[in-house]
A and B are shown apart, each in its own frame.
Chain A
Amino acid sequence: MKAAQVIMDTGAHAAALAVKSARVDVVPGYPITPQTSIMEAVAAMVENGELNARFIPVEGEHSAMAAAVAASAAGARVFTATSANGLLYMHEVLHMASGGRLPVVMCNVNRGIFAPWTLWADHQDSFAQRDTGWIQYHCSSNQEVFNTILQAFRVAEQINIPIMVNFDGFAISHCLMPLTLPPQEDIDRFLPPHEPKWRLDPAHPSSFSNVTNAAEYAPFRQMLSDDIMASIPLVKQAAQEYKDITGMWDGDTIDTYLLEDAEVVAFAVNSMAAELRLSIDILREQGIKAGLLRPRLYLPFPAEDIINALPQNAQVMVLDRNYNFGHPGGILASELKSVLFGRRNDITVKNRVMGIGGIDLPRRFMAAEIRAMMDE
């Protein structure tokens, strides 16, 4: 047994190393900040022979996802990555991947959306893709990015639904953290080669996503909706088996910190949720029974796990790094309230929007925000 290797690297390179470990076959790519470092690293791996894959440089993100769809339909294991406006430009083809039931895995490095232009992180881009039929993870560390990409390929290929692995631009994508790389044979055991039940093959002509009549179309949409919900046990199984093999754990559908006896619960995703653990420590030092609930899955929204995990009579402080236009506050708060309604009437939900366009969210600031929200 080879031992795991520990290195220092960025979140973007963690993603590229996961792509290599997953033995991806095809990578269509188009550069956009802050995602570009992933594609640079993957292209270099293909160029120097470390990764036996076809790298397809395309002229835009719409084409990148179209190439991903085509390669996946041909039976390849496919990865691509994007950010912000690149993700928005893909929007139409995202539906082709999910409706076509193609297990593409894509990293979206979260970045605010124009106008005006920004390069820095918020979560408007990924949350705006809620209704595309993609499963969405949100990661809070470089290690979790690496681990989640491998879990995502496994779940996507089990259930034939594409998966988006999201993490914050710069705070994760460009910052160095220790990264544990499990031995390749362990990863191969966790993620066997992709063997699709169907593929485009000139020897056995077929086509997919042809025009359907209403009686044919509706069942496909129902199956996609049902199967997205049915991915939750597969997500849990993948997290557990990854832990059994590598010893690493980032949570499954949710991740919690000091939640069991918490009276005040912070609720947030991505890098700010990692920083929030330190805010919770500050609040605990002040005598406040604070805890953290981080949805690792945003879609499907892990309703049952959230309902079961929240302590009785908790005040939940939802910290949204996005706007829910047309409503006061953010999207996560809306999702949480819709889940709790009629199920957990003991819970109070409060909401603030912060960190838009990369505004820094240090631990003391968020602890102070949560204290202020308690008095509202």
Chain B
Amino acid sequence: MKSVTKAYQPISWPMKGAGGDTGSWRTHRPVVDTQICTKCQLCWVYCPEAVIDRNEITIDYRYCKGCGVCATECPTGAISMEKEE
């Protein structure tokens, strides 16, 4: 029998991807049409997962869950939701 234990606690520290590779949850992927996008940054404001780059308006698909909030909020219709393969 062990007399000393590791006594691990389920602790997490804030970091990119602390919740795992949540991009694997996605059924539809938001795709930005850079010809239409005005870089108004509303998608960056609304994204609940903070996966949109504020300046480039690019999406980190490793963590994007595909919720579609960005596509709904985009005032110019620059973001479309495309079915994942």
Q: Which residues from chain A sit less than 8 Å from chain B, CB to CB?
A: 99-102, 159-161, 197-198, 205-213, 220, 223, 226-227, 229-230, 232-234
Contacts and interface: CB of A to CB of B under 8 A. Distances in A.
Given A210-B19, A211-B19, A159 B5 contact: yes
Contacts of A197: 7
Interface string B1-37: 1111111111111100011100000000000000000
Interface of B: 1-14, 18-20
Interface secondary structure of B, over-half rule: loop
Contacts of B1: 229-230, 232-233
A213 B25 CA distance: 13
A304 to B, nearest CB: 8
Most buried by A among B1, B5, B12: B5
A100 B9 CA distance: 6
Contacts of A227: 5-7
Contact of B11 (A208, A213, A223, A232): A208
Contacts of B9: 100-102, 160, 198, 208
Contacts of B10: 99-101, 208-210, 212, 220
A234 B3 CA distance: 7
B20 A213 contact: yes
Contact of B14 (A160, A161, A205, A213): A205
A206 B5 contact: no
B11 A230 contact: no
Contact of B6 (A206, A223, A233): A223
Contacts of A101: 7-10
A101 B9 CA distance: 6
A354 to B, nearest CB: 34
B5 A230 contact: yes
A342 B7 CA distance: 32
